[in-house]
Structures are given as C-alpha cells and as structure tokens.
Amino acid sequence: MAEPCENCLRLEQEIALAHQQLADASRDVPPVQSIGDNDLERELARWLSLTHEPDAAAGFRVGWRRLGQLATPRIREWERLWWRSKREGDSLRSRIGELLREISRLSDTG
C-alpha cells in the first residue's frame, strides 16, 4: 500500500484533533466505519460462493447494495446532527427575539 500524501496526513491530524476536542467536551465520538474497515476480499468470496451464476450486473447491484448498507448509518447520523443543530438554532433565534423585546421594553419605560 502506498504511503499517504501530505494532504492526507494533515487531514488525518485534523480529524484526530476534532475527535479529541469532541471527547474533551464530553460529546460522543462513535467510531467511524468505512468501506476500508471491511474485508472486501472475504465479502467477495462469500458472495461468489453463495451465488449460483454470478455475473457483472449482479455483482454491480450487490456492490451498490452493500455500499448503501455501510453508508446508511452514517447518513442517518448526519441527518440527526443536522436536525439537532437546526432545533438549537431555532431555539437561539427565539431567545434572541425575547431578549430584544425585553431590551425594547426596558428602554421605552426608562
């Protein structure tokens, strides 16, 4: 396997730093599963042994299905984080509106 390039090494350092900062802030940092974490050769051998007449089209469909199985949890987690940040933003906007009304009320009566 080739050595990672300089940009890849910097990206890995940034990711490690972000994980550390999240852990320091007591935020959950689940391990990220990637396609590289799976034994692709073993999966291919298993599929070939279970398939009666394997062909390229069937392999293509199975590969995309497997990619979807691996990507779905990560996409759902991103969606969950997005909705949580959206709710937090709405809450903050609401609180800012309340504070502005309170400032306006206090400056009118003062």
In a domain? residue 7: no
In a domain? residue 2: no
In a domain? residue 104: yes
**98 to each of 19, 85, 87, 102, how far by Cα in Å?**
35, 20, 17, 6
pLDDT at 35 > cutoff 60: no
Q: Count of domains in the chain?
A: 1
Q: What is the CA radius of gyration of the chain?
A: 24
Confidence of residue 33 (pLDDT cuts 50, 70, 90): low
In a domain? residue 18: no
Confidence of residue 27 (pLDDT cuts 50, 70, 90): confident
**Residue range 42-48: mean pLDDT, rounded:** 81
What is d(CA 97, CA 44) in angstroms, rounded to the nearest whole number?
A: 57
In a domain? residue 89: yes
Structural domain for 58, as ranges = 31-109
